[in-house]
A and B are shown apart, each in its own frame.
Chain A
């Protein structure tokens, strides 16, 4: 057992055996929340305006998203890459969301603007234990999740501008709804167009 482990550890990370069932599936929610809250505090110490704050969170999420795509595709035993935007949107809102947060998000397509889509979520898990101070009003820590979406889209060759917004919901004043706005890049949009014809 020791020998196997030693051999495994000395191999290049991409040569090692992939974890099988029963590997670290879960960690406790508090571990993640504490880590995330510390990330927020670290970011708060470095930047003082909402835009930069959200950008930094989105960058972190981006890194996560880039790597998540391959892992989730392998886990879900996907047999081919998604090449149509609507399909990948559904993949993100259903499969990715289910795996990360245990529930689904709602994808929507904008009727007014072509190439604009939204993913809406009522109670974002990452925001659950975060309270926003007055000097950063309007900040949505859901930017982290928006970053994840951006990373996944980039890794699947769908260039898009992704922004995250917090919308107050009258029924649930303590937890605003998170809306992730996705605006497809012109070239992606043109690539998609013939299929609609």
Chain B
């Protein structure tokens, strides 16, 4: 069972003292990786360069029962994301004040900034206990890694505001019955124009779409956050919500199953996440003196196990303007401002590659 998946023809004759590469990697992983990185140009144990990502492959629409779905493969990490839409009635929301507004009146935006977050309309969940890796066996409740990944996806979804609140609302416009009354009174035609605005029934929000975003890891080989976020983005782009309307006779929300009336979600922007870990030459911390370090982009399980410090950068370059949506850095003090600048530039390159795949 080898941790590194590439064949390596050895030029040296097999003497009794030398091991095959896989055994060496298992017995002393830190010197193994250090031996790869020390000569310049540095190559990693998986024969990528330090700033090279794995090629992603994205597949959409493979799940029948999900409104949107995506399967993302980045190297050996495979993620399946399925999005299902369910209906939340406005009457079921505690403390909800009915929002009304005529079309185009801007009243809709008032107080609606945090609507998706307050009402919990986007529900992402990451499931790692699927046997994707020997340390994630099923039957266990979500551990630290799964919970923190779910929370990071949740906060990125809301802070990036890629889904407009309007997309998730189901409006109801009561039919205008005032026309029936005014036919009998012809002399009040002048008055009726003024009072038409007040008598005309306002449309109101009757229900909301709730999107359950379920992310399952089929296989994990390092860097779960990037793959999970890419799958969420790609699945959101694939979502097709049926046309929903309030039926006043039955007093329930019904959906129409014709494809021509269904609509795809319009997303604002396309943020892409890139992660990197920092590998230090000395395992023990040295308090003074320069020590050598390498920033390894898109780590796999082997490299993640040897590094403490981790940086994640989320950028969005739609429209040619680079926007940094988030920088997370934990675990050490090696990476400073210059290094972060370099990582952001690498993340911009990655954005071009991933966004062209997602938008295709």
- The answer to whether A and B assemble together is no
B contact set with A: CB distance below 8 Å: none
